[in-house]
Structure formats: structure tokens, C-alpha cells
Amino acid sequence: MALYKRSRVWWMCFIYRGKFFRRSTDTSDRDLAEDIFDQVKDEIAQGKLPRIYFDRVTFDKLAEAFLEDYRINMKDTLEKAERSVKYLNEAFGGMKAIDITTDKIRSYIRDRMNQGYSNASINRELAALKRMFHLAARETPPKVSMIPYIPMLKESNIRKGFFEDHEFLALRDALPFHLKPVVTFAYHTGWRKGEILGLTLGKVDLRQGIVRLEPGETKNEEGRVIYLNDELMKELKALQKSRPLGCPYVFHHNGKPIRDFRG
């Protein structure tokens, strides 16, 4: 490990896990450079990845990995994710990930509100940013040392219109057989239509009595777990017994996915 000067700026070289690194301290002040170098040596001694390692990780790299995750998992909301990245890039493009602080995120929120965007639209972009940081933190080695606090906005466009129990039963009884389990699941969980119709067998654990959606599979990008009540357990067990061979969907019509049922 050594500290040396190139032009007017102090640089340091160090070895971490058998790899040789050179990093600028970004200062011409010898005392400040020594403080930064001492911090790096302390982090290495504690077995930590030096914070300065994260200096080269930019928003662009986080966004690239975020979209790649969508492509690999073939998520049907890729277009919306790309749109969120486009807006985020206008504010954070080229910025180091460690410089994306809560203050800068609040400034982004204010700018988007001043441009006339709704809280719901801004929240979708903030959810994408949050997902970027969570993905980066999970990598080996991690790409970020911390995840900034990302405040979310209160949404006023709350869904309205609820069925009373007798109204739900009347609707369910009037529907075709293949749609009865769909509306039953919707009534008890409040999930969105796309989340229900896209539900696959791998997300259901009847032994534990749970249904799970992973982060990134919901509209707000956050994971979700529900515990099945007796009625849902009965419905899903019946569907499992009658499912055609090779059909991956929980809810289906003769083995084919259910699309639009407004008719």
C-alpha cells in the first residue's frame, strides 16, 4: 500500500483480495489524502470492501443492470421500466451512485412535480430507482455500499368501488365456471387483474399455504406474500387437481391463459 502524487493530485495503490487497485483521492491536500488512505486501510483490515471501490459505479451501470434484469426475466412491463429509466437518466445520468443522496432524490421529486407529473407517475420512477439500488446491493461483490432512503409520495388516485359479500356472491354465481376462481382470488386478496391472470404454479406453495410475488413482479416493484384462507386453499387445490398437463398457469381456460374477460 502506498500514497503517491500524480500531477497535483494524491493517488493511492492497495491490494484487496489479491487484486491490485489504483484510486485517486481527488485531493491535492496531503493531510486529507492520508485520512482517506487510512480509512481505506482500516476497511481492508476489517475485511470490508473499501468505500472508494464504489466510486466508479454510476447511475448508468445501475440502470443497465436494472433493465437487464427485466429482460432476463422476460417481464411484460419492460417498456414502462425503460420509460422510468429515461426520466431518471435526465437527472442522474453519469452521476456516481454514492452521490445519489436523499436530498438529490427530493430535488428530483420537486422538479417532476413542477413539470406537472402525478404522484403516481413519480412513484413508479422512484420505485425503479429503489429497485436499481437493491439489485446492486445483492451482487457479488456489491456495487453499492448503501441504499439511500427514497421517499415515496402519497397517491390520491386510490381505487374505489367495493363489493359487499352478497354482491360478490351474486357476481361469482353468474360467471362462467373458469372465471369463478379468478374473482374469488381477487375478492379475498385485492390483487390486480394482471397479477392474478399471470400467476404461475411456482408462486404457489399449498403446503405452507402461501402465494408469493417477488420484487419487480408487482406494479409498485415490491414483493408480496399472502396467506391463503380456507376458501382460497379449497379453490387452489381444486384447480391443481383439474389442471391440464403442461399448463403453468394457476388460472386458465382449458389449459390456456385467460386474457380479457370484460365480455
Q: What would the pLDDT profile of 137-155 be if each residue is shown by its tens digit?
A: 888 777 887 889 999 988 7
CA gap 36, 25 in Å, rounded = 7
Q: Which helix (H) or strand (E) holds 3?
A: strand 2-6
Per domain, the residue ranges of the chain are: 2-54, 59-138, 165-257
Q: What would the pLDDT profile of 36-71 be if each residue is shown by its tens digit?
A: 888 778 777 776 666 656 677 899 999 999 999 999
Question: Average of pLDDT values for 82-89?
Answer: 95
Report pLDDT for 225.
Answer: 82
**How many Cβ atoms sit within 10 Å of the Cβ of residue 248?**
12
- The answer on pLDDT for 100 being more than 70 is yes
Higher model confidence: residue 242 or residue 128? 128
User: pLDDT class for 240, splitting at 50, 70, 90?
Assistant: confident
Smallest Cα–Cα separation from 59: which of 109, 94, 98, 101? 94
Name the CATH superfamily, with its identifier, for domain 165-257: Intergrase catalytic core (1.10.443.10)
Give CA separation, 226 vs 70, 164, 209, in Å: 24, 21, 9
- Which residues neighbour 250 within 8 Å (Cβ) at sequence distance 6 or greater? 199, 200, 201, 203, 204, 236, 239
SS3 96: strand
CATH number of 59-138: 1.10.150
Question: Residue 173's Cα: distance from chain center in Å?
Answer: 38
